[in-house]
Structure 1
Amino acid sequence: MTASIDINTVFFYFASAVIGAFALWLVLFLWYLKEKRSRDVGGGLGLQLFLISAPEGIVEKGGNIEEAVKNFISKMEQFLSGLYSIKKEGFSSKLWKGPLFTLEIAAHNRGNEIFFYIAFPRVYGKLLESKLHGAFPDAKIEAVEDYNIFHPTGATAGAVVVSSESTILPIKTYQKLNTDPLETITAPFSKIDEFGEGASIQIVLRPAGEEIQKRAHKAAKHLKEGQSRNDVLARNSFWYDLKKFMFPPKTNKERQKPLVVDDELAKLFEEKGAKVIFEANIRILASSKSIAETDSILRNIAGSFSQYQNPEGSGFRVTELSGKALRSVIEKYSFRLFDEKNKVYLNVEELASIYHFPYLKRAASQVRMLKSQESAPPVNLPKEGISIGLSKYRGGEQEIKIKKDDRRRHFYSIGQTGTGKSTLMQKMIIQDIQNGEGVAVIDPHGDLIDKILGHIPKERADDVIVFDPGDTQNPMGLNMLEFDPKYPEQRSLIVNELLEIFNKLFNMSVAGGPMFEQYFRNATMLVMEDPESGNTLLEIVRVLSDKAFRDYKLSKSKNIVVNSFWQQIAEKAGGESSLANMVPYVVSKLDTFLANEIMRPIIAQEHSAFNVRNVMDQKKILLLNLSKGKLGDINSSLLGLIMVGKILMAALSRVDIAEGERKDFYLYIDEFQNVTTKSIATILSEARKYKLNLIITHQFIGQLEEDIKKAVFGNVGTICSFRIGTDDAEYIEKQFTPTFTAKDLLNIDNLNAYIKLLIDGQTSKPFNMFIPFPPKGNDEIAKYIRELSQKKYSRPREEVEEEIRKRHTGS
Structure 2
Amino acid sequence: MESEVIKSILSSFTFSFYLTWWIILPLVLFFVFKDVWFFYIRTLFIRKIKWVILEIKVPRNILKTPKAMEQVFASLYASYSFGMSIWDRIWDGKVEPYFSFELVGNEKGIFFYVRIPDDKRNLVEAAIYSQFPDAEIEETEDYVETLPEVLPNKTYDIWGTDLIYVRDYLYPIKTYLKFEEDIDERRIDPISSITEVMSKLKDGEHLWMQYLISPTGSPSGKEIVKEGKELVESLIKGKKPKKPAGKMSQWIDGTLEFLKNLISGFWKYPEWSKKGEEKENGKEFVDLAKMTKGVRDIVEGIESKVSKLSFDTVIRFVYIDRRDSFSPMNVSATFGFFQQFSTQDMNSLKPGSTKTLYNNIWARLFPFWKKFLMNYKKRRVYDWYRTRRFGKYNKIRKEDFSILCTEELATLYHFPIEMVEAPSLRRLSSKKGEPPVGLPLK
1:538 maps to: none
Task: Choose which of 216, 232, 252 in structure 1 pairs with 2:225.
Answer: 216
2:329 maps to: 296
2:182 maps to: none
Q: Which has the higher contact order (CA 8 A, sep 6+)?
A: 2
2:129 maps to: 133
Deviation of 1:143 (Å): 0.8
Deviation of 1:50 (Å): 0.7
Instruction: Supply the distance in 2 between the matched residues of 1:379 and 1:126 (Cα, whole angstroms).
Output: 27
Instruction: Supply the distance in 2 between the matched residues of 1:251 and 1:136 (Cα, whole angstroms).
Output: 52
Q: Is the 8 A contact 1:201 1:284 kept in 2?
A: yes
1:157 maps to: 159
Q: Superposed, which structure 2 residues align to 1:261-300 within 5 Å?
A: 262-290=295-323, 293=326, 295-300=328-333
Structure 2 gaps, min length 5 = 180-184, 257-272, 357-373, 393-398
Task: Choose which of 54, 61, 67 in structure 2 pairs with 1:57.
Answer: 61
Instruction: Supply the distance in 2 between the matched residues of 1:55 and 1:160 (Cα, whole angstroms).
Output: 31
Q: Is the 8 A contact 2:232 2:302 kept in 1?
A: no
Task: Choose which of 195, 207, 214 in structure 1 pairs with 2:215.
Answer: 207
Residues 33 and 356 of structure 1: is their aligned pair in 2 closer, same or farther, counting only changes over 3 Å? same
Q: Is the 8 A contact 1:157 1:294 kept in 2?
A: no
Structure 1 gaps, min length 5 = 59-67, 385-811
Task: Choose which of 373, 379, 385 in structure 2 pairs with 1:327.
Answer: 379
Cα-to-partner distance string for 1:136-192 (whole Å, 9 max, x where unaligned): 111111111111374882112211011111112211101012431111232221221
Q: Is the 8 A contact 2:42 2:95 kept in 1?
A: no
Residues 312 and 15 of structure 1: is their aligned pair in 2 closer, same or farther, counting only changes over 3 Å? farther
Q: Secondary structure at the match of 1:188?
A: helix
Q: Superposed, which structure 2 residues align to 1:80-91 within 5 Å?
A: 80-89=73-82, 90-91=84-85
Deviation of 1:347 (Å): 0.8
Q: CA RMSD in A?
A: 3.5
* Structure with larger Rg: 1
Instruction: Supply the distance in 2 between the matched residues of 1:237 and 1:371 (Cα, whole angstroms).
Output: 56
Q: Is the 8 A contact 2:237 2:286 kept in 1?
A: no
Q: Secondary structure at the match of 1:181?
A: coil
Q: Secondary structure at the match of 1:297?
A: helix
Q: Superposed, which structure 2 residues align to 1:46-445 within 5 Å?
A: 46-57=50-61, 71-89=64-82, 90-91=84-85, 92=88, 96-108=94-106, 111-148=107-144, 150=147, 153-177=155-179, 178=185, 179-193=188-202, 195-210=203-218, 214-221=223-230, 223-224=232-233, 226-228=236-238, 230-231=240-241, 234-235=243-244, 255-256=283-284, 262-290=295-323, 293=326, 295-319=328-352, 320-321=355-356, 322-339=374-391, 341=399, 343-360=401-418, 362=420, 364-378=422-436, 380-384=438-442
Q: Is the 8 A contact 2:57 2:135 kept in 1?
A: yes
Instruction: Supply the distance in 2 between the matched residues of 1:176 and 1:228 (Cα, whole angstroms).
Output: 26
Instruction: Supply the distance in 1 between the matched residues of 2:312 and 2:207 (Cα, whole angstroms).
Output: 23
Q: Secondary structure at the match of 1:230?
A: coil
Q: Is the 8 A contact 1:36 1:96 kept in 2?
A: yes
Instruction: Supply the distance in 1 between the matched residues of 2:114 and 2:25 (Cα, whole angstroms).
Output: 47
Q: Superposed, which structure 2 residues align to 1:736-747 within 5 Å?
A: none
Q: Superposed, which structure 2 residues align to 1:582-731 within 5 Å?
A: none
Deviation of 1:7 (Å): 3.3
Deviation of 1:254 (Å): 5.3
Residues 100 and 253 of structure 1: is their aligned pair in 2 closer, same or farther, counting only changes over 3 Å? closer
Q: Superposed, which structure 2 residues align to 1:461-540 within 5 Å?
A: none
1:344 partner amino acid: S
Deviation of 1:291 (Å): 7.9
2:30 partner amino acid: L
2:197 partner amino acid: P
Among all aligned residue pairs of Structure 1 and Structure 2, give the percentage whose two residues are the same amino acid.
22
Residues 274 and 254 of structure 1: is their aligned pair in 2 closer, same or farther, counting only changes over 3 Å? closer
Q: Is the 8 A contact 2:207 2:317 kept in 1?
A: yes
Higher normalized helix content (fraction of residues): 1
2:70 partner amino acid: E
TM-score, normalised via structure 2 length: 0.72
1:408 maps to: none
TM-score, normalised via structure 1 length: 0.41
2:216 partner amino acid: A
